[in-house]
Every structure is written in C-alpha cells, then in structure tokens.
Amino acid sequence: MKARPRRFARLASAGVSAIAVVALALSGCSSPAASTPSAPRSSDGVTGTITVFAAASLTKTFTELGTRFEAAHPGAKVTFSFAGSSDLVSQLTAGAPADVFASADQANMTKAVDAKVTSGSPVDFATNVLAIAVPPGNPAHVTGFADLASPSVKTVVCAPQVPCGAATAKVEKSAGVTLTPVSQESSVTDVLGKVTSGEADAGIVYATDVKGAGSAVESVPFPEAAKTVNVYPISVVAQAPNAAGARAFVAYVTGAAGRAVLAAAGFGAP
Amino acid sequence: MSIRLGVPRWIVMVAAVGGLFIVLPLIAMAARVDWPDFIPLITSPSSVDALLLSLRTSLLATAACLVLGVPMAIVLARVPFTGSRVVRAVVLLPLVLPPVVGGLALLALYGRRGLLGGALDVAFSTPAVVIAQTFVALPFLVLSLEGALRSAGERYEAVAATLGARPSTVLFRVTLPLVLPAIVSGSILSFARALGEFGATLTFAGSLQGVTRTLPLEIYLQRENDPDAAVALSLVLVAVAIAVVAVAHGAGEGLRPRRVSADADVRARAA
C-alpha cells in the first residue's frame, strides 16, 4: 500500500520518457529539408535539396519544372509537398522546414507574409481563370453560366471557404447569376471528380483543370470568368535551409522556362 | 501472505504508454479550444445542421447494419457452406479498404454511369450518405456478432430444438438473447464508425449543408479558413463519441449479469 504512489510515479515517468523517445524518433525522420552538403557542386553554386511547398493545382507543372531544374543544375534536388494552400500556410507557420512556397491565391500568400514565414516580397508567376467543365457529350446541354442556375442541372462547385469557391462566388456576383449547386466540395479536385464520373452535369473548376483532364471533360464558353482572375504568387521561405537554391528555383519558375511549362498547362501570364 | 496474482509490471508500463498515445492528442486538442467562443462556434447554423445530419444518418446506417448484419453474422457463424471463408473475407473488406476506395466502388455501382445505370438516383442526396456509412460500418457489427455467436456455442439452441422449438423460435428466444450484449456493442461500433465516416461520403455523396455535409465533412471544410471552429467541432464529435461509448458500455453491463447468472444457473444444475 505504501509503495503505491512511488510505483505510480515511476510508471508515469517511464511512460512519459517512452513517448518522448517516440516523438524524437518521429521528428528525426520527418525533416526532408535537410540539405545534403555531400552533393556535387555545380558551377552556379545551386546545390543540395530544395524543398518546395506548392498548391495542389501546381502538381503537374511544378513536378515537370522540378525535373527540368535538376537537369539545368546538376547537384540540386527538388522535393515537393503539394497540398491545399491554406494547409501549407499552417504547416509553414507551425515551423515546417521548406525553402519555397507557391500559393494558389493571394489571400494565402498574404497570410504567410503576415505570419512572417516568407522572405522578401512574393512574386506573381501565373494566373488562372474559372471554367465550366461538363461530362463528355454535355448530357445536360449546358450552353453557358446562366444555365447552371437551373435546378434541373446538377451543378457542383467549390465551397466558398476554399479559393476556387471564393472565386466562383465572385463570378456569381459580377454576373448576377445565383447558382443552385447540389454539392459544395472542399477541393477543386473533388469537383472535377464529380464531373469526370458523370455524377454532376456541370462543375466550376479552373481552366487548367479542364486542360489537365484531357478528354474526360469538355468545357463550355464562360466569358464571365475573365473578370475574376486568380493570381499565383511564389516566395522564398524566411527560414529556408537552402536559401540560395530557393532563390534559384523561384527565378526559374518566374523565368522563360517556367513561363513555357505553365502556359502549356493552361496558366495565364501574370 | 497472499499469492501475487496479476500481470508483469512492464506490461502495465507499455499499456500506460499506449493509453497516453491515445489520450494525449485529444487533451492537446482540448487545450487548443477557444473556450470563450466555444458555444458560438459550435452553434452556428452550419455546425448544427452538420451535427443533426450526422446523428440522423448514423442512426439510419446503424439500423441498416442491424437489419442486414445480424442475419449475415448468423449465417457465417451457424451455416457451414463451401467458400464461407472467402465470403467472410469479402464481408470484412470495407474494414480494410481506404474509405475513398469504398466511395469509388459505391459510385461504380449506384452512380449515374454505374452498373445499376442510375436506376437508383441517390447522388448528392442524404440516402447516399446513409449508404456510404452502412457500407463502411457493416463489418463491425458482423464481426463482433459472429465472434459472440461462435463463443456462445450451440448447446442451448440444440436443447431448445430437441424440446420442439422451431428455428425461428430458437432464434428469437435463445440465440439472440444470448448474444444481446454483442448486438448492442456491435451496433455502437457501427454507429461510431458511421459517425466518423468521411472519405466514402466525400467521394460518393458530395457536400452540401443540411443534405450531405456531415460533421466530419464540416470539420474538414471549416479547417480551411476557421481552424478555431474546426477544433471546437472536433471536440463536439469526440464528446458525442464518448457519450455513445459510455451509454453503450452501461447498456452492455446492464445486460450482462442476467446472462452470466443464467449461465451459472445452468452450470449449477448440470453439476
């Protein structure tokens, strides 16, 4: 009976230290940004691993740009973390090690700048406009944005809380059309999925999504979208472990090579 | 001096670490809650809609699990047939499938371009949510009930049958009362799984306030621009889950003694 409190304390401390060990082990293997100094030096001094946090909508283009960048800078390695821009900002604010941050909208880049996790001022490198995606053959015969207000057309949009939904709400307002969506998804990928699977008659996505989906969707003329242009900014991260590499990658994306790859994917010039 | 019974001390230590592993993240989350704004955050119309929708659909899904799952468990536990092992493995599939895959599979069947050719037009409707939840929750009921049926054995059923009871009478008067605690706990597990369903709903049903946006989907969405609301709602979900487990545990305990005493009674008589 007497030994009980002491035993409990011993058990508790053993438990705590075991958890600390696990935590240490986990944090040890989750720092992808650690640059590799053993990598061979290239002539321009851009070496090591460059960790890029980029918006999910940049997955295809940035992966390609990364490969080209590595070819142009032997000794450099680009690793990506693609996620929703707001997720990336919260990760950066929480201290995630990254060198570059590319956001799908200015609101999230502003959040990052306000949180002082960026270095220097962000550069706009691409634009994207909304598009109406319909399944092949356009089964509901959608001819334009106004048709989507009809309850007989199953329209899927992004929720207003996410960037594509905010842009959709803006277009609705400027065009004077009130949509009656059957679903407000949390990501543009989910909207596109509902259209490619044929569940929805129409979905509001980005022009680049329509282009990326190939023959899985068709698009319908959407002149009202031209007034609401979404701008993509990119910035070096304040605590970048590889600041030189980060600056080189930002320059590459905003330069001619980046421009060409982005344009081919349907992005507009900033 | 009494004999020292019990488990080695190191087992207790590892168990304590395991307990902390589960509890600490939840405590950390509770610490993050913006308590002064807690009530406004969780009583916003979208939050209330999501909570009510979640409770409604999870209850319906649990009912569907009972209707379908009890017969499934009985057949698996009591009817020997070739290929029963394969059938059992298939029934448990939703348990191991990533929920998104489950959603895609449901789409492939019930979707507009699915195998049923859109005969069942459920896309973007509340029934789609219930279907998705039932799909992922069913194995929990079948699994726990089948185990209970096997360990309960067929002695009492055999006795009842020899005394002239028809199969349905045996089922309702002997088999089901014997495994009632397992039915209750299996239903609770199914309810909890349905309440937490996310991936299949997102893929299959969509997300619209009051129609298909359940609490987990609402939390996922709120997290985009209102992390405080997301954390507050997460805590509500945890509270609901704890309440459900507590009620279930209480109900299960309430049912158990009767069975145990009946068991002891039988044993005493047999001796």
* Interchain proximity B224–A186, CB inside 8 Å: yes
Residues on chain A touching B120 (C-beta within 8 angstroms): none
* Interchain proximity B225–A161, CB inside 8 Å: yes
DSSP state at residue A231: E
Containing H/E element for B254? helix B227-270
Residues on chain B touching A182 (C-beta within 8 angstroms): 123-124, 206, 208
Which residue among B111, B209, B222 sits closest to A197, beta carbon to beta carbon?
B111
Homologous superfamily of A128-229 = Periplasmic binding protein-like II (3.40.190.10)
* Interchain proximity A198–B112, CB inside 8 Å: yes
Residues on chain B touching A12 (C-beta within 8 angstroms): 16
DSSP state at residue B171: I
* C-alpha distance from B198 to closest chain A C-alpha (Å): 12
Only one residue has tokens 């929750």, namely B137
Domain boundaries, chain B: 44-261
Residue of chain A minimizing CA distance to B105: A197
Q: Is A162 on the interface with B (CB under 8 A)?
A: yes
DSSP state at residue B173: I
Rounded to whole angstroms, the Cα distance separating B180 from B149 reads 10
How confident is the prediction along chain A (270 residues), in pLDDT tens digits per residue? 444 445 544 544 444 444 444 444 444 444 444 444 444 444 467 889 999 999 988 988 999 999 999 999 999 999 999 988 888 998 999 889 999 999 988 989 999 999 999 998 999 999 999 999 999 999 999 999 999 999 899 999 999 988 889 899 999 999 999 999 999 998 888 899 999 988 999 999 999 999 988 899 999 989 988 888 889 999 999 989 999 999 999 999 999 999 999 999 989 988
Instruction: Indicate the class that CATH gives domain A48-127+231-264.
Output: alpha beta
Which residue among A14, A185, A198 sits closest to B207, beta carbon to beta carbon?
A185
Using an 8 Å Cβ cutoff, are B91 and B139 in contact? yes
Pick the CATH number of B44-261 from 1.25.40.420, 1.10.3720.10, 3.20.20.70, 1.20.1090.10: 1.10.3720.10
Tell the burial category of A142 from Cβ atoms under 10 Å away from its Cβ (0-12, 13-18, 19+).
buried
Domain boundaries, chain A: 48-127+231-264, 128-229
Per residue in B216-233, pLDDT tens? 999 998 887 788 889 999
Residues on chain B touching A185 (C-beta within 8 angstroms): 202, 206-207
The residue type of A248 is: A
Per residue in B44-93, pLDDT tens? 898 999 999 999 999 999 999 999 999 999 999 999 888 888 998 999 89
pTM: 0.76
* Interchain proximity B123–A18, CB inside 8 Å: no
Rounded to whole angstroms, the Cα distance separating A207 from A248 reads 28
- The H-assigned helical ranges of chain A are 4-28, 59-72, 85-93, 106-114, 163-175, 188-196, 207-213, 243-254, 256-264
